[in-house]
Chains A and B, each alone.
Chain A
Amino acid sequence: MAETTTVPQTSQNTARRVKFVITRQDTPETKPYTEEFDLPYRPGMNVISALMEIQRNPVNANGGSTAPVCWESNCLEEVCGACSMVINGKPRQACSALVDQLEQPIRVAPMATFPVVRDLVIDRSRMFNALKKVKAWIPIDGTYDLGPGPRMPEKKRQWAYELSKCMTCGVCLEACPNVNDKTDFIGPAALSQVRLFNAHPTGEMNADDRLDTLMEGSDGIEGCGNSQNCVRACPKGIPLTTSIAELNKQTTKRMFKRWFAQ
């Protein structure tokens, strides 16, 4: 792969360059610092291909050799959520962040709402733990064949499908002013998954358990303060604030039911 690019590239090098300012961090414990890079421009390049360029030739803007910048990515088509980072102040996927559409110098930083592992690599465990906590699945295991479940009405399937597009990328948590060190708020993504699984005809059978989880401890749905940044930031266009308000309704009903009907 490298051979195909070397020859035509050198002739273009003087023509256009792309400036990057990257926030780096060597270990989870050490202090972050920034490093500048001056890379050759290539048509159609995105932030991941720029990081690949640094990996190929780890030299910073001052000409000093440096350790290549670490990052995570898989699908390269905005469906896996692994490459989320803060690009020019906005949390988003690096693989779909086209250099042509970004103001320079392009500032890249890790999503610091999450623990930083190294450079742009973050640990999103809290999101997966949240999904476990709210039981974001449909229990179908039994000791015998339970047979086919109830069908989902097509109309419902259509909006529920939108919620199922969540890739646990963490952008909505990064965008939320109430997800930080001072709170335990579970964040919009897991809440929306509760709405999804509570809407499913089989998942519905455990709806109350999921709601109860959102109403106990200090990390539940009450953490939402309606800044509504999440719905603006979500790359999948998931109607997060509608999900949250719908769950506000479900938990309110659940609260009264627990008081008066049990």
Chain B
Amino acid sequence: MKGYYARKVHSLLGVIPLSLFLIEHAITNYAAFDGGQEGFRKAVHTLNDLPLVFFLELFAIWLPLLFHGVYGLYIAYQAQPNLGHFKTERNWRFILQRVSGVIAFVFIVWHVYSTRFQITLGNTTHDELGGFMHNIVTQPGFFVFFLVGVIATTFHFANGVWAFLVSWGITVGPRAQRISSYACLGLFVIVTALFMLSLFAFRGEEFADTASAITTLKTMIG
């Protein structure tokens, strides 16, 4: 899979659905900060009450993520970084887009394994997710991993939207590309803030859940 159309599909999937899903995810999680345990539970329920949720997940998240992620790793591998000789902001962003993509890949695989996949395995339920998260993010090592993973992903998303606007010929001149840089920076700040608030909320005592969640977590990370 090489060439123009593969790359266009990769680019489109980055925005529709992946970026849209990331924004949705940030808003759902924000419910943990805004509405606490109950608010988060409700938000999760609303999502899972969507019709055909299995197919939605499959076609709007898993398959696009798989294609964009694997093809993205290939694109990242193809670059030959030369930041040493070209220390410009755009060249930094070029490198960071690739580095953050790789970090996001590792982070998302782990994150999906430790949450969504545990539900599939029956080790936890949608209702227990809040407590589940609490047990993860109260461990300093995992919390730092989470912070790095989230920031890498939100950077990748925001800078990706900027690149998307260029690769589809929407922002053509230097002025348009500068203005969209600021807009995407704003997007980065807002979405990162939403995730951060929820991460810190999950650390709160309110989310400390039943002992069952803790034991599941223990079996999960061995």
Contact with B along A187-221 (1 / 0, CB 8 A): 00000000000000000000000000011111011
The reply on A241 being an interface residue by CB < 8 A is: yes
Q: Closest CB-CB distance, A218 to chain B, in whole Å?
A: 4
By the criterion CB–CB under 8 Å, are A245 and B177 in contact?
A: yes
By the criterion CB–CB under 8 Å, are B79 and A178 in contact?
A: yes
A177, A183, A215, A216 pick with most chain B CB within 10 angstroms = A177
By the criterion CB–CB under 8 Å, are B174 and A218 in contact?
A: no
The reply on A255 being an interface residue by CB < 8 A is: yes
By the criterion CB–CB under 8 Å, are B2 and A218 in contact?
A: yes
Number of interface residues of B (CB under 8 A): 35
Given contacts A245-B169, A246-B172, A252-B169, contact A226 B163 (CB under 8 A): yes
By the criterion CB–CB under 8 Å, are A226 and B80 in contact?
A: no
What is the CA–CA distance of A233 and B88 in the complex, to the nearest angstrom?
Answer: 11
Contacts of B166 in A (CB 8 A): 226, 245, 248
What is the CA–CA distance of A233 and B82 in the complex, to the nearest angstrom?
Answer: 13
The reply on B117 being an interface residue by CB < 8 A is: no
Number of interface residues of A (CB under 8 A): 37
By the criterion CB–CB under 8 Å, are B91 and A227 in contact?
A: yes
The reply on B171 being an interface residue by CB < 8 A is: yes
By the criterion CB–CB under 8 Å, are A226 and B86 in contact?
A: no
Contacts of A250 in B (CB 8 A): 169
By the criterion CB–CB under 8 Å, are B88 and A216 in contact?
A: no
By the criterion CB–CB under 8 Å, are B75 and A242 in contact?
A: no
Interface of A is mostly: helix
By the criterion CB–CB under 8 Å, are B80 and A180 in contact?
A: yes
Contacts of B86 in A (CB 8 A): 175, 227, 229, 232-233
Contact with A along B1-27 (1 / 0, CB 8 A): 011111110000000000000000000
Interface of B is mostly: helix
Contacts of B95 in A (CB 8 A): 177, 227
By the criterion CB–CB under 8 Å, are B8 and A222 in contact?
A: yes
Closest to A182 in B: B78
By the criterion CB–CB under 8 Å, are A242 and B77 in contact?
A: no
Closest to B85 in A: A89
By the criterion CB–CB under 8 Å, are A225 and B79 in contact?
A: yes
The reply on B140 being an interface residue by CB < 8 A is: no
The reply on B218 being an interface residue by CB < 8 A is: no
The reply on B145 being an interface residue by CB < 8 A is: no
Contacts of B110 in A (CB 8 A): none
Given contacts A225-B94, A229-B91, contact A249 B79 (CB under 8 A): no
The reply on A90 being an interface residue by CB < 8 A is: yes
Interface of chain B residues 135 through 168 with chain A (CB within 8 A) = 163, 166-168
By the criterion CB–CB under 8 Å, are A242 and B173 in contact?
A: yes
The reply on B84 being an interface residue by CB < 8 A is: yes
By the criterion CB–CB under 8 Å, are B91 and A222 in contact?
A: no
Contacts of A221 in B (CB 8 A): 4
What is the CA–CA distance of A225 and B81 in the complex, to the nearest angstrom?
Answer: 11
By the criterion CB–CB under 8 Å, are B77 and A175 in contact?
A: no
Contacts of B79 in A (CB 8 A): 177-178, 180, 225
The reply on A228 being an interface residue by CB < 8 A is: yes
Contact with A along B65-82 (1 / 0, CB 8 A): 000000000010111111
By the criterion CB–CB under 8 Å, are B90 and A227 in contact?
A: yes
Given contacts A178-B79, A216-B4, contact A248 B91 (CB under 8 A): no
Q: Closest CB-CB distance, B180 to chain A, in whole Å?
A: 11
By the criterion CB–CB under 8 Å, are B85 and A251 in contact?
A: no
Contact with B along A218-262 (1 / 0, CB 8 A): 101110111111001100000101100111111111010000000
A sample of 17 cross-chain residue pairs with beta-carbon separation below 8 angstroms, ordered by A number, consists of A177-B94, A178-B78, A178-B80, A180-B79, A182-B78, A215-B5, A225-B97, A226-B93, A228-B94, A229-B86, A241-B174, A242-B172, A242-B174, A248-B168, A248-B169, A249-B170, A252-B169
Name 15 extra pairs, CB < 8 A, besides A89-B85, A241-B174, A247-B169. Answer: A180-B78, A182-B78, A216-B3, A217-B3, A221-B4, A222-B4, A226-B94, A227-B93, A227-B95, A228-B90, A228-B94, A242-B172, A246-B169, A249-B168, A251-B169
Closest 7 CB pairs of A and B: A249-B169, A227-B94, A222-B7, A248-B169, A228-B90, A218-B2, A180-B80
Residues of B within 8 A of A (CB): 2-8, 75, 77-82, 84-86, 88, 90-91, 93-95, 97, 163, 166-174, 177
